[in-house]
Amino acid sequence: MKHGRKGSRDGESGTKPDGGPSHEEAGEHEGGPGAGGHGDHGDHHAHMVADFRRRFWICLAFTLPILALSPMIQDWLGIAEALDFPGELYVLLGLSTFLYIYGGWPFLKGMKREFLGREPGMMTLVAVAISVAYFYSAAVVIGLEGKVLFWELATLIDVMLLGHWLEMRSVMGASRALEKLVELLPNQAHRIGEDGDIEDVPLDELEPGDRLLVKPGEKVPVDGKVSDGETSVDLSMLTGESKLVPKGPGDELMAGSVNQEGSVKMEIEKTGADTYLSQVIDTVSRAQEARSHTQDLADRAALWLTIIAISVGAVTLAVWLIIGYEFDFSLERSVTVMVITCPHALGLAIPLVVAVSTTLSAKNGLLVRDRSAFERSRLLQAVVFDKTGTLTEGSFGVTDVVSLDAELDEEEVLGLAAAVESRSEHSIARGIVEEAKERDIETGDIEDFKAIPGKGAEASVGGRRVAVVSPGYLEEKGIDTAGGEEIGEVSEQGKTIVYVLSDGEPVGAVALADVIRDESREAVESLEQAGVQCMMLTGDSRQVAEWVAGELGLEDYFAEVLPDDKSNKIEELQQRGLKVAMVGDGVNDAPALVQADVGIAIGAGTDVAVEAADIVLVRNDPRDVADVLGLGRATYRKMLQNLGWATGYNVIAIPLAAGVLYPLGILLSPAVGAALMSVSTIIVAFNARFLKTPS
């Protein structure tokens, strides 16, 4: 199973997308109405934003009297005598105690969680810093010789709460696109009763098999098929498809798409959690919260920063004491070191990029089911495409028309063939008729249509008896085609050939093959420009594979591959040392999708292929493979930028906090240290928001 080989998509715990404290640590109770639903994810962040905002403003209000009563601030402002009254230090202690408990609660709870998890990190650093400042200052009030640091305790808590508040707002911004998906569904649907009456009912009352009416301008409420009527729908919010898509009887309708033109009746196939939109929301939500390999790196870096902070803080305290400075000065340097080393920016660096990139992927028709595989996409060296239904449309189309009669040109030959085949339902017939329509060729009226079982069809067209037949029919009748050289070249390409006879004489031939998507050429070109080898895997003959590979300019191909051997071909490439992606759409592609380093399924393919894949191309467009690669690389670059900023500034900040430039008059207080740390965190958050899909 893929889950066992590449890591569980659902069972991984780990850092929350915001990198901050949990719901409980933010001071909120867990659970509540609707817990566990799609909206709960957004409600969780909304509660955190509200909690940090509330704590910040309340603590800021208490900070003002704390600053006014702090002896050091009074001396700086020259107001010591004006505010001198009996017991002022005890009032200061009382205000600071409230601030320490209420404002510091998220950090104290976070420290407990980190210790229980044996992963000391940012919360531990902040909790240690404010606890040292509080208990030392309290001891001074009670009688210890020294200076109170309550003003620094207050400003430190204020700045940390403000930083968390701003960070949570950034995270909320990254999650809003997911909420927009939820808003795509209407509240009610127009259900058609057995007697034809229409009633408006809530979506949770709908069941598969029910018939609905969808009016122009309305959103499709559930997944199903058009049963009556024709229209065009807007899929842009679901797949990124900018053009309106025509829909008629038998065509699929997706929940969340917008009906643009005529009213249509539809039959429900899927409701609730089974609909495409619900699966997108669920998948995006899981991917946002999934733990990635890069996040593991960030967590290890945070642990080392914690160790460095506490160690350097202790050494700083000892060194300043040893060289003869007062304890309060030495303690202030130690506290500043521990504050400025806080790795909260590091904790936010990766999860926020993950949240933004996953949302960007979904908005652009790239449904990421496995975060680790998405990260591996940046390393891809080869992409192997399945042919039928992926590089090609999976349907017959005309590739060549050959005239064998000097009096008829190619269009006239095609017109005769299309006239006869207009009465047939065969896939070859449909391909010929469609080609004639695209070329605006008039086919004329036909009479006396007759099928030739297993060989073709014939009819009277404009006074001629025209037949469209297989090569076997010519052999059976002993008819010589002449002009065989041109037809022979087409035949060697593995194409299907039918002959056009007029009154028993061959006048032309039409070659058909599985139609190559126009988008496939662009996809191959884009990937090769990105330095990725493009290959093809097919069960078709070598001649067919060679022709398709030549048309697309593929570097290599595998032909006549049995379904159960496709995964072996992927493994062969991996044994060459290549990082390989497999792109397919069928049941027989599933093993190869699992074997590949990155499995990519075409969204219009089978459920089995989609379930086996790491990434689903919702738009059924092979060009999106290049977008996967581009977004994967852009995401990784953004992660490295954030990691670099979140850790790199410590190279300068820690020595400054320790006081190495004190002889030059440069000294950082704990509050300034907290401000610098929070600024770095906010920069990391904004940097993640600037992640864009490569054009």
Which positions are catalytic?
A: 386
- Strands in 339-478 per DSSP E: 366-368, 382-386, 392-403, 446-452, 456-461, 464-469
Contact assessment for residue 619 and residue 626, using Cβ atoms and an 8 Å cutoff: no
| Strands (DSSP E) found in 389-532 | 392-403, 446-452, 456-461, 464-469, 496-502, 505-516
Instruction: State which H helix or E strand residue 410 sits in.
Output: helix 410-421
Nearest alpha-carbon partner for 518 in 628, 621, 387: 621
Question: Which is it for the CA torsion 16, 17, 21, 24, positive or negative?
Answer: negative
Q: Which residues contact 361 (CB under 8 A, 6 or more apart)?
A: 284, 367, 368, 374, 631
CA gyration radius, the chain:
35
> What contacts 341, CB < 8 A, 6 or more positions away?
125, 305, 306, 308, 309, 312, 313, 650, 653, 654, 657, 677
Give the Cβ contact number of residue 506 at 10 Å: 20
CA atoms within 13 A on the CB side of 108: 13
CB atoms within 10 A of CB 117: 9
Q: Quote the CA–CA distance of 61 and 55 in Å, as a whole number.
A: 10
Amino acid identity, position 577: G
Q: Under 8 Å CB-to-CB from 232, ≥6 apart: which residues?
A: 244, 245, 246, 247, 260, 261
Separation of alpha carbons 127 and 145, rounded Å = 24
Measure the CA angle with vertex 465, ends 460 and 466; round to 5°: 90
As a whole number of angstroms, the distance between CA 294 and CA 291 comes to 8
Q: Which residues contact 411 (CB under 8 A, 6 or more apart)?
A: 401, 439, 441
Alpha helix (H) residue ranges in 257-292: 276-289
Dihedral sign for Cα atoms in the order 606, 607, 613, 616: positive
Query: 437 φ, ψ to 5°?
Result: -65, -45
